[in-house]
Chains A and B, each alone.
Chain A
């Protein structure tokens, strides 16, 4: 049996604990089964250098999830540095080891086998906010109207924020694609440094 160990500090160091995830774990199986079948799990990756700060991703999200226009209710957020004119989109990372899921005392957060997104079951969620405390990125929220946890579920595999981003500053991608592109960019940089005469 292979054990993967993860230690993390949560809530200002009050609770330090180890999480053990084994191959027999149901969630572990789901992920690996997909990889074994040659399917690709995708996430939303952000490219801040392309972001114009328009906030269309936030509006799209609030419309899909809450039928209303309200950036405050969006599950993706954009942070902006006004003076510098710089913005960063902050989508949920859909962590492989998800602290929100680990922290949930009632097992309300489960992985969607189709997309790999962590989703909240509103029937089970008790709105305690443990997940909000646990998430290292601030990507899970308590709904202003219902008090229950809400988070990005990748719109079931067709995220509206990505679909509408005018500058492709957020993309729904397989991480290997992202790595490959960065590999190429880095190779090009090195090639340039060498003056085309490696």
Chain B
């Protein structure tokens, strides 16, 4: 009997229409846990270097973790993995809601899509019954319409749907996969890979169960941890204002990216802050599956042209990307933009950064009305912003160029546009200011899926004394340097630990908001949960080792695609244009110093930024070491 794991994986060949059910390979589960780690290994094994991300040889994997769907805080998450069209390297995106647990209740840990359908299809899973269905009537429909039509076709309102919108169909490089209407597997263009395979949606209904090796003890332990995350100090602030709480705190330290990172403070931050949203626009709290934190909120715009519109969110990243980044202070327009991105299937971060990029090019005179079809892209024009979102998703006019992502768009536009294209490895920068918080500078530069705040999610530098002593072994004096956000000191040490824990959380199927973000649940507690769930002894060391193995494997995938230290960089703006809030000395991101430290702590080669043969062998990745050596990469 399988404990924790559902026990089966689905293999769907979209070219032939063949559907197979395999047993979940438990040897892989032991090495890579599940979800992200599991899928990264499958991707490494199945996708050869040089594969076209939009070709039939790319695979698209949906995977849940061993804790996904269980009675434990925040077990809602699943991962979508494929070679990314944005980076031409490792791509994955993580989402929550209720879709991932439903996949496990239907009996599957993962779905692997290979090939390419000739005509649009969607996959319908009803427990043991799995069918590829015609989706021609869904093609061209947005995510909300698709969900509604599928539920009607199936005749069951309880099916959970993950779908792409027009953006995924049109291969927008930052197209998202949206599940449960408002939850996005947003980053690295997984929606575009799905669109390239002509797969419109996956609808799942699961009525099965997940077996637990020691149910009585797990019930007690899970209940205890749920209570701690309900009332505990560590999670309380997310439960009040949601991620929007970050607006005010980031504004204070100059970490609220504004006007495409020309500034880190927004004069009207108060109008869109978490506090203001709670007071004026809040409707009610929402939560993902098995989450006591409920960071999500339904909000409603109250005035302006978008008055009356309701959405789930918007989250911090979205508020900044569609707000301050584009000099837009109208909360209603942010709500409208958020809804459009969910419906059209776009990543809000990349969408906002692409629009801010276009607005800065307009400001600098690099693009003119001739390029935009007459659309005025002045900073803060909310109407133009909304129009651009639609143009990107439908690849109309200048939207067609922006849909390639800012890296490729800048190449096409030329005239020095690349200076304003804020991306790493082709993925648009998430909403942190690398000159204000150095840890995130290093994190964005080194994350294996491109600019990414979640790959390491460094948080200890915000004064988490107990954790920094426990996991980093720092003395009091060293701690004060770690807690200096603008100092590069100890940020590499921090990132090396945090990326391991982040990989563990992603791979077990739990949210970082109960784990990596705030340590409400610590690694040893996850290990105990895994022991009770699987019946096999798990320790903190084993889990973190698996996390490290996953990070090394993902870097090896990228190495095979030709990526190395040269790609672990930041846009020139952060390295050359000093910035600070008034009263502080302006600085740039001291990247090279942090990179040297980072590679050394990883046990990687400093020159190439790649794992060494010894390191890979030490982690049990002998076959990977052999392959990279035979290819003369390491």
Which A positions have Cβ atoms within 8 angstroms of B? 49, 52-56, 59-60, 62-64, 66-73, 82-86, 144, 160, 163-164, 166-167
A52 touches B209 (CB 8 A): no
Query: Is B509's beta carbon under 8 Å from chain A?
Result: no
B226 touches A56 (CB 8 A): yes
Chain B residue numbers with a CB within 8 Å of A56 are 71, 226, 290-292
Inter-chain CA distance A163–B229, complex, in Å, is 14
A68 touches B291 (CB 8 A): no
Interface range, B side? 35 or more
A167 touches B219 (CB 8 A): no
Among B71, B147, B207, B223, contact of A72 (Cβ-Cβ < 8 Å) = B207
Among B70, B207, B223, B293, contact of A160 (Cβ-Cβ < 8 Å) = B223
Q: List 19 A-B contacts (CB under 8 A).
A: A49-B284, A52-B285, A52-B287, A54-B290, A55-B98, A56-B226, A63-B71, A64-B219, A67-B212, A68-B210, A68-B215, A70-B105, A70-B208, A71-B105, A72-B208, A85-B298, A164-B223, A166-B287, A167-B294
Q: Mark B366-389, 1 if CB is under 8 A from A, else 0.
A: 000000000000000000000000
Chain A residue numbers with a CB within 8 Å of B285 are 52, 167
Chain A: minimal CB distance from B211 (Å): 6
User: Nearest A residue to B227 by beta-carbon distance?
Assistant: A164
Chain A residue numbers with a CB within 8 Å of B219 are 60, 63-64, 160
Given contacts A69-B71, A166-B287, A167-B294, A60 and B223 within 8 Å (CB-CB): yes
User: Nearest A residue to B102 by beta-carbon distance?
Assistant: A71
> For chain B residues 167-217, which have a beta carbon within 8 Å of chain A?
180-182, 206-212, 215-216
Inter-chain CA distance A71–B211, complex, in Å, is 13
Inter-chain CA distance A62–B206, complex, in Å, is 15
A59 touches B70 (CB 8 A): yes
Chain A residue numbers with a CB within 8 Å of B227 are 164
Query: Is B139's beta carbon under 8 Å from chain A?
Result: no
User: Nearest B residue to A163 by beta-carbon distance?
Assistant: B223
Inter-chain CA distance A51–B222, complex, in Å, is 20
Chain B: minimal CB distance from A71 (Å): 7
Query: Is B288's beta carbon under 8 Å from chain A?
Result: yes
Inter-chain CA distance A82–B288, complex, in Å, is 12
Inter-chain CA distance A72–B101, complex, in Å, is 12
User: Nearest A residue to B293 by beta-carbon distance?
Assistant: A166
Chain A residue numbers with a CB within 8 Å of B298 are 84-85
Among A69, A84, A86, A166, contact of B210 (Cβ-Cβ < 8 Å) = A69
Which B positions have Cβ atoms within 8 angstroms of A? 69-71, 98, 105, 144, 147, 180-182, 206-212, 215-216, 218-219, 222-223, 226-227, 229-230, 283-294, 296, 298, 310, 312
Chain B: minimal CB distance from A15 (Å): 29
Inter-chain CA distance A73–B218, complex, in Å, is 18
Chain A residue numbers with a CB within 8 Å of B71 are 56, 59-60, 63, 69
Given contacts A52-B285, A83-B181, A70 and B144 within 8 Å (CB-CB): no
B209 touches A69 (CB 8 A): yes
Among A49, A66, A67, A69, contact of B70 (Cβ-Cβ < 8 Å) = A69
Given contacts A56-B292, A72-B207, A166-B230, A67 and B215 within 8 Å (CB-CB): yes
Inter-chain CA distance A164–B219, complex, in Å, is 11
Inter-chain CA distance A121–B293, complex, in Å, is 38
A85 touches B294 (CB 8 A): no
With contacts A52-B286, A67-B215, A73-B209 known, what are 19 further pairs, Cβ within 8 A?
A52-B294, A54-B290, A54-B294, A55-B290, A56-B71, A56-B226, A56-B291, A59-B70, A62-B209, A63-B222, A67-B216, A68-B212, A69-B69, A70-B207, A72-B206, A72-B209, A83-B181, A84-B298, A164-B292
User: Nearest A residue to B160 by beta-carbon distance?
Assistant: A82
The 8 A-B residue pairs whose C-beta atoms are closest, nearest first, are: A70-B209, A166-B292, A52-B287, A67-B215, A72-B207, A54-B287, A85-B298, A68-B209
Inter-chain CA distance A68–B69, complex, in Å, is 11
User: Nearest A residue to B312 by beta-carbon distance?
Assistant: A85
User: Nearest B residue to A56 by beta-carbon distance?
Assistant: B290
User: Nearest A residue to B97 by beta-carbon distance?
Assistant: A82
Chain A residue numbers with a CB within 8 Å of B230 are 166
Chain B residue numbers with a CB within 8 Å of A72 are 105, 206-209
Inter-chain CA distance A73–B71, complex, in Å, is 14
B215 touches A54 (CB 8 A): no
B210 touches A70 (CB 8 A): yes
B292 touches A66 (CB 8 A): no
A53 touches B215 (CB 8 A): no
Chain B residue numbers with a CB within 8 Å of A164 are 223, 226-227, 292
Chain A residue numbers with a CB within 8 Å of B292 are 54, 56, 164, 166
Inter-chain CA distance A70–B71, complex, in Å, is 9
Chain A: minimal CB distance from B373 (Å): 33
Chain B residue numbers with a CB within 8 Å of A52 are 284-287, 291, 294, 296
